[in-house]
Amino acid sequence: MTLATVVTAFLAVLLNFGLFLLFYLKLKQSLVRFSRDMFEAQDENTPSQFAQVVTSVSTIQAQHISSSLKSVFMGVQSVDNRNERALEADAMADQNPTMAAIMESFPAVAKRVRKNPSLAGMAFEVLGRMSSRGTPGNNSAPGVKFNL
């Protein structure tokens, strides 16, 4: 090999190393600028871009968690209310054997009374009026008549 070839190869390697060093320094400078822009606040009143992203992500996550907890608690409350109404309806049916027989014979009526126990109170009034009309000692109202 000649001296010119060795010098040319050495200069090519040196040039490539210089270009690599220049590229590395530019890349480092742009990464430092990017990190400063992202993580440092522009002034005291404005948070950094990273802080703004973290705030928005945490707000969205908090909203999802709160809506999930709300639906869970509303579901539990709904089940509790439904069970309470069913217990009220069963207690009313236990107090009046006629109502218990009607609820046992007609499941749709029982379902409706369990959903809304105040209907049972209205049914008690209707049953009371019907039973008072048909008693033999009560002459104030005629008995129930069915036209068939």
Cα 92 to Cα 87: distance, rounded to the nearest angstrom: 9
What are the structural domain ranges in the chain? 1-37, 71-134
Q: Is the separation of the CB atoms in 103 and 110 below 8 Å?
A: yes
- What is the per-residue pLDDT across 2-42, written as a single tens digit (0 to 9) for each? 888 999 999 999 999 999 999 999 999 999 999 888 888 88
pLDDT value for 74 = 83
* Cα 45–chain centre separation: 35
DSSP string, 39-91: HS-SSSSS--HHHHHHHHHHHHHHHHHHHHHHHHHHHHHHHHHHHHHHHHHHH
Question: Rounded mean pLDDT of 115-130?
Answer: 73
Cα–chain center distance at 138: 59
Predicted confidence at residue 23, as pLDDT, reads 95
- Reported as a single tens digit per residue, the pLDDT across 66-106 is 988 988 888 878 888 888 887 877 777 777 777 778 778 88
